[in-house]
């Protein structure tokens, strides 16, 4: 579904991604792990089209995405939930969800889609008319994820969804990812909590200094303390 080949990216003169190769098949949860600064976020941004300078190939459902603007990639079914959430704090939960449909062809079914999202996210269902800023960090993160999912993306990229969230909500969130997978959503996950991520994912890639240094079944990586210590310790 997503095939990344030789992906390079720069911030100014800094050559941050030096040839990433990664694949995600339909219906999989794939996680990308690695220490701070390894290039995980940059990979997701490059796939979404949020960086100025990239090279290589990012094919989504067979179509080349590099060189295309982010909104077009969104239109093809790619979604991205950045680490910094970017919900609109002064708007209600419902209004934030509506924002996820602004560019969607399904906008006409807005109310039905909000109702469906509320079913998937019971915590948000109770808070549809609450101002987003009044919710906890974890609930805001749920909202950011729900807003990305409301338009039915084919593949959603999540950057550090568990960051700064209390454990009970993290468990809830990871249960939700399992349900989303069962319902057919494909997920590319960046996560600092390696054990949690490998416990959820089908396959994993380890990135170090802008290249993939290891990949395989998540269960195998979970059992490989050496790789985790070498490449994933913060």
Q: Which residues bind ligand ATP (CB under 6 A)?
A: 11, 14, 16, 34, 36-42
CA distance 93 to 206: 35
Q: Are strands 78-81 and 63-64 parallel, antiparallel or unpaired?
A: unpaired
Nearer to ligand ATP by C-beta: 45 or 127? 45
* Minimum distance from residue 234 beta carbon to ligand ATP (Å): 8
Nearer to ligand ATP by C-beta: 38 or 146? 38
The helix (H) or strand (E) run that includes residue 11 is strand 2-11
* Minimum distance from residue 13 beta carbon to ligand ATP (Å): 10
Q: Locate 6 and state its tokens.
A: 């030789």
* Minimum distance from residue 154 beta carbon to ligand ATP (Å): 23
Nearer to ligand ATP by C-beta: 38 or 114? 38
Nearer to ligand ATP by C-beta: 65 or 206? 206
DSSP states of 25-66: -TT-EEEEE-STTSSHHHHHHHHHT--SEEEEEEEETTEE-T
- What lies within 8 Å, CB to CB, of 107 at 6+ separation is 101
Q: Locate 121 and state its tokens.
A: 């996210």
* Minimum distance from residue 17 beta carbon to ligand ATP (Å): 8
* Minimum distance from residue 90 beta carbon to ligand ATP (Å): 26
Nearer to ligand ATP by C-beta: 41 or 131? 41
* Minimum distance from residue 42 beta carbon to ligand ATP (Å): 3
Residue 176 sits at φ, ψ, to 5 deg, of -60, -40
Nearer to ligand ATP by C-beta: 92 or 209? 209
CA 37 to chain centre: 17
Q: In what order do the strands lie in the sheet with 155-159?
A: 78-81, 155-159, 186-190, 29-33, 203-208, 211-217
């Amino acid at each position: 579904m997503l095939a990344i080949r030789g992906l390079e990216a720069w911030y100014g003169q800094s050559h941050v991604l030096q040839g990433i190769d990664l694949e995600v098949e339909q219906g999989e949860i794939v996680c990308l792990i690695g220490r701070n600064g390894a290039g995980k976020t940059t990979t997701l941004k490059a796939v979404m089209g949020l960086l100025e300078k990239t090279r290589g190939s990012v094919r989504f459902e067979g179509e080349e995405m590099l060189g295309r603007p982010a909104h077009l990639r969104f239109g093809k079914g790619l979604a991205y939930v950045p680490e910094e959430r970017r919900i609109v704090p002064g708007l209600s939960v419902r209004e934030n969800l509506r924002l996820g449909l602004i560019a969607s062809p399904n906008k006409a079914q807005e109310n039905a889609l909000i109702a469906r999202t509320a079913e998937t996210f019971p915590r948000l269902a109770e808070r549809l008319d609450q101002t987003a800023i009044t919710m906890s960090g974890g609930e805001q993160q749920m909202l950011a994820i729900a807003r990305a999912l409301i338009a039915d993306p084919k593949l959603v990229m999540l950057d550090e969804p568990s960051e700064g969230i209390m454990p009970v909500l993290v468990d809830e969130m990871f249960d939700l990812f399992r349900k989303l997978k069962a319902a057919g959503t494909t997920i590319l996950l960046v996560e600092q909590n390696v054990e949690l991520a490998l416990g959820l994912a089908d396959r994993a890639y380890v990135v170090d200094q802008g290249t993939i240094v290891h990949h395989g079944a998540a269960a195998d990586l979970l059992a490989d303390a050496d790789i985790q210590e070498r490449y994933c310790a913060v």
